[in-house]
Amino acid sequence: MSTRVVIIGGGFAGINMALELANHRAFEVILVDKNNYNFFPPLLYQVATGFLEPSSISYPFRKLFRGKRNVKFRLGELQRIDQENNEVLLNNGILPYDKLIIATGAHTNFFGMENVKKNAIAMKTVDDAIGMRNRLLQQMEKASISNDPDEIKKRLTIVIAGGGPTGVELSGIFAELRNGIMRKEYPELVGKGSEIFLVDGGEALLSPMSVASQQDTLRDLKELGVNILLKSRVQDFKDDRVYLKDGRIIETKTLIWAAGVTAFRFEGISDTSYGRSNRLLVDATNLVAETNNIYAVGDACLQLTDENYSFGHPQVAQVAIQQAKNLVKNLERSLNNKPLIPFRYIDKGSMAIIGKMKAVVDLPKPKWHLDGVTAWLAWLFIHLFALISYRNRAKTFYNWMIAYLTNDQSLRMIIKPIHSENDEQQMEPESERESEA
């Protein structure tokens, strides 16, 4: 009989495991996800800013698995794990397993700040990206009909918390939108005080990258007109004010939160199996501590056995992909009673795009740093071919070429599944609804 492998989560790790196990007669694979599609997180910010449509970075699971007889998809959300009976309880039923793979990734960490959680915009899902696009476009439309200079400035000012790749990329694209498209389509708002603030608690942006990349990023963002606030943290967001830990206050209606993530916790797994940021402790083969047939990969796990990463691996896509492929090899080897292969992460480099013709790339071997046009082209090429299907690549390439040649794009539509006035008000922070009441 085939081994039933249940994979929870269809991100980088989960999708790679399912595809690697496809058409393998020894395994029956069931991938469970709360969405019926896979999406490409590194390009979410381009959906949020209207440069790409959601379908450019998304692909339905069932279409992806079409023709793969041993791989099935189930729409559902994990509620509890029953280790004694080897079953998972989903929100829509019970699913038995022989091997359980937790590949649920991570979600936004607001560090206990309830006002920030309630009023800020996160950037982890397609829903978040569409919500951000709606919010930003609504703010510009409302600013265009306002006669209050202070109100206009608050609607046009954007604060981004987190100086990692997401924060840097959002800052750069917002600055280019302000300096280009907004001047053409909202001439009445030119000179009305639109500002972009990038806030980070560290001493440099892109802290895991090289000093050269950090310096190039700081210089390029400043040239684009972004206000960089380092060694500073967001402490609160209420009444249209972002409060920083150093006492500064920024008046705005838009705070974008890209400052941290935490993994999920699941009922049925002992508290002692979790490490920092709720990441599941795993051994060198990704087996979860205190279990015998439950594995965790990617952002969901904390692996301390890799001698080059004794504090755990970075929560990036390459770790998830490499762990998934190594785990597949070990599942195959276990069928033949072969020794298992301990995971060793191979760093293939890191990169971030800042704007048109502006990017930074660090390559570990040989130790190279690239910036400017060369890095920008490398970023475009790698991200384009990392998309899951030819259809996604073609649509994304087309949209990028249009944006490059015209310095414009035509995806700035406010699309909501709601029409009532009350529902529209729910798109705004609580503080704004109170002030307009």
> So what's the pLDDT on residue 422?
45
- Average pLDDT value for residue range 85-100: 96
Domain boundaries, the chain: 3-34+76-108+261-335, 114-259+349-430
pLDDT at site 1? 72
Contact call for residues 101 and 327 (beta carbons, < 8 A): yes
Residue 429 has what pLDDT?
45
User: What average pLDDT does range 92-120 have in this prediction?
Assistant: 95
Using the predicted structure, report yes or no on whether residue 102 has a pLDDT greater than 90: yes
Q: Which residues of 290-322 are buried (b: 16+ CB within 10 A; e: fewer)?
A: ebeebbbbbbbbbbeebeebeebbebbbbbbbb
Mean pLDDT over each residue of the chain, to the nearest integer: 91
- pLDDT at 125 > cutoff 70: yes
Fold of 114-259+349-430: FAD/NAD(P)-binding domain (3.50.50)
**pLDDT at residue 68, rounded to an integer:** 93
| 342-357 pLDDT, tens digit each | 999 999 999 999 998 9
Residue 72 predicted with pLDDT over 80: yes
Token pair for 172: 């750069």
Domain 3-34+76-108+261-335 has CATH 3.50.50.60: yes
CA distances from 334 to 20, 93, 301, 338 (A): 16, 30, 21, 6
**Domains 3-34+76-108+261-335 and 114-259+349-430 alike in fold:** yes
pLDDT at 366 over 90: no
Sorting pLDDT into bands at 50, 70 and 90, what band is 421?
very low
207 and 168 Cβ atoms separated by less than 8 Å: no
CA distances from 13 to 69, 102, 295 (A): 20, 9, 12
Each residue's pLDDT tens digit, 299-346: 999 999 999 998 999 999 999 999 999 999 999 999 999 999 999 999
Instruction: Please state, in angstroms and rounded to a whole number, the distance separating the CA atoms of residues 214 and 184.
Output: 32
Q: From the CB of residue 110, how many other CB atoms can be counted at a distance below 10 Å?
A: 20
* pLDDT band per the 50, 70, 90 thresholds, residue 430: very low
Ramachandran category for residue 34: left, alpha or beta (phi over 0 → left; psi -120 to 50 → alpha): alpha
- CA 352 to chain CA centroid, Å, is 13
**Residue 225: strand pairing partners:** none
Q: Please state the rounded mean pLDDT for residues 111-127.
A: 94
* Cα distance between the two ends of the chain: 64
| Tens digits of residue pLDDT in 237-290 | 999 999 999 999 999 999 999 998 999 999 999 999 999 999 999 999 999 999
Span 379-405, pLDDT tens digits: 999 999 999 888 899 989 988 888 777
**84 catalytically annotated:** no
User: How crowded is residue 64: how many other Cβ atoms within 10 Å of its Cβ?
Assistant: 21
Question: Torsions phi, psi of 102, nearest 5?
Answer: -100, 110
The rounded distance, in Å, linking the Cα atoms of 418 and 112 is 30
Q: Which residue has the higher pLDDT, 355 or 406?
A: 355
Q: Are 5 and 331 contacting, i.e. CB atoms less than 8 angstroms apart?
A: yes
Selecting among 53, 169, 176, 432, the annotated active-site residue is 169
Residue 418 clears pLDDT 70, i.e. is over it: no
Interval 14-40: pLDDT, tens: 999 999 999 899 999 999 999 999 999
CB crowding 357-382: b at 16 or more within 10 Å, else e: ebbbbbbeeeeeebbeeebbebbbee
Per-residue pLDDT tens digits for 137-151: 999 999 999 999 999
Pick 420 or 158 by higher pLDDT: 158
69 closest CA partner among 31, 29, 35, 37: 29
Return the top range by mean pLDDT from 96-110, 125-139, 391-405. Answer: 96-110
CA 277 – CA 301 distance, rounded (Å): 10
| Model confidence at 416: pLDDT above 90 | no
pLDDT-derived band at 184 (thresholds 50, 70, 90) equals confident
